[in-house]
């Protein structure tokens, strides 16, 4: 492994701490896992540490999903206590999302997620424009689709999330909003999606990476225990503030905040294609 100066180690530790705090805020505010923040930070950390290229991304994604587990639990419970979570949607998505996650983990070693990223970017940009311009007519339907369509969305959410190291809440948020789901309820329900994605996803990366060469010390498969330990505490401290902020904001404020986040995330993914 490659050693790097103490100053770089300090800055990377600070970056991990800040990323953990951002993860908690995002999880509470938008119902997302925060993987879009965590993965690029972990990428720089593990790259400087000398992790081989073929191990680098799976390690980042697996560690990100592990961090999302406790954060999603805290976010979900916070929104659930406020009565904003639609449990019917989560029940319909439980099985297809779980299957999608496992499919994504299975194919992660040889599949290129660029197609998922491209579709993700297009959909997020369209939704961001709709939210920015307040175009209520930009929706697929006034009601959620039937079981087959919902199952298909669940497979897409699960597979794309496990391939990109995100909690799936953002994609779920996009789907629900396009079907005229109230923004506060969409955010709250999306927090439960992160929980469905992260548990089987993290376990899958532990199993698929077990015994792989090139992993840093204290790794359980493709999950870095050190990365998990540094990122998780602050994310758990900040998630409740994100939940409180979400329920204090008006519908329009939430729309503008979510649109800004979607735009930034789209740009972030665009530079990695």
Q: Terminus-to-terminus CA distance in the chain, angstroms? A: 27
Q: Which of 148, 141, 162, 27 is nearest to 96 (CA)?
A: 148
Prediction pTM value: 0.71
36-51, pLDDT tens digit by residue?
Answer: 667 767 777 777 777 7
Which residues 6+ apart lie within 8 Å of 193 measured at CB? 31, 90, 93, 97, 157, 167, 168, 169, 172
Number of separate domains in the chain: 1
Residue 1 resides in a domain: no
Q: How far apart are CA 48 and CA 126, in angstroms?
A: 36
Decide: helix, strand or coil at residue 23. Answer: helix
- The model's pLDDT over 219-246, given as tens digits with 9 standing for 90+, comes to 898 998 888 888 788 777 777 777 777 7
Q: Is the dihedral of CA 151, 156, 157, 158 positive or negative?
A: positive
Name the band, by pLDDT with cuts 50, 70 and 90, for residue 161: confident
| Separation of alpha carbons 171 and 194, rounded Å | 10
> Domain for residue 125, yes or no?
yes
Q: CB neighbours (10 Å) of residue 46?
A: 23
Is 57 inside any structural domain?
yes
Round the average pLDDT of the chain to a whole number and report it: 77
Provide the residue range defining the domain that includes 73.
6-270
Mean pLDDT along residues 198-213: 86
Contact of 157 with 175, CB cutoff 8 Å: yes
CA distance 21 to 11: 15
- Residue 185 placed within a domain: yes
Domain-embedded: residue 12: yes
**SS3 labels along 129-192:** HHHHHCCCCCCCCCCCCCHHHHHHHHHHHHHHHHHHCCCCHHHHHHHHHHCCCCHHHHHHHHHH
């Amino acid at each position: 492994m490659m050693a790097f100066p103490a100053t770089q180690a300090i800055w990377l530790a600070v970056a991990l701490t800040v990323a953990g705090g951002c993860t908690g805020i995002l999880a509470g505010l938008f119902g997302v896992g925060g993987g879009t923040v965590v993965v690029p930070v972990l990428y720089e950390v593990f790259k400087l540490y000398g992790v081989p290229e073929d191990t680098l991304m799976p390690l980042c994604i697996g560690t990100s999903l592990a961090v999302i587990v406790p954060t999603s639990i805290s976010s979900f419970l916070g929104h659930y206590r406020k009565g904003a979570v639609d449990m019917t949607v989560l029940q319909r998505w439980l099985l297809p999302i779980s299957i999608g996650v496992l499919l994504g983990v299975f194919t992660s070693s040889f599949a290129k997620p660029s197609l998922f990223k491209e579709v993700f970017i297009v959909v997020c940009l369209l939704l961001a424009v709709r939210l920015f311009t307040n175009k209520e007519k930009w929706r697929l339907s006034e009601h959620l689709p039937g079981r087959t369509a919902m199952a298909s969305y669940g497979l897409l959410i699960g597979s794309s999330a496990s391939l990109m190291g995100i909690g799936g809440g953002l994609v779920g948020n996009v789907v629900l909003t396009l079907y005229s789901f109230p923004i506060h309820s969409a955010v709250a329900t999306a927090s439960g999606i992160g929980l469905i994605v992260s548990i089987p996803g993290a376990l899958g990366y532990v199993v698929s990476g077990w015994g792989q060469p090139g992993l840093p010390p204290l790794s359980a498969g493709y999950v870095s225990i050190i990365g998990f330990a540094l990122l998780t505490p602050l994310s758990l401290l900040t998630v409740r503030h994100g939940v409180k902020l979400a329920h204090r904001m008006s519908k329009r404020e939430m729309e503008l905040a979510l649109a800004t986040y979607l735009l930034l995330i789209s740009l972030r993914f665009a530079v990695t294609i």
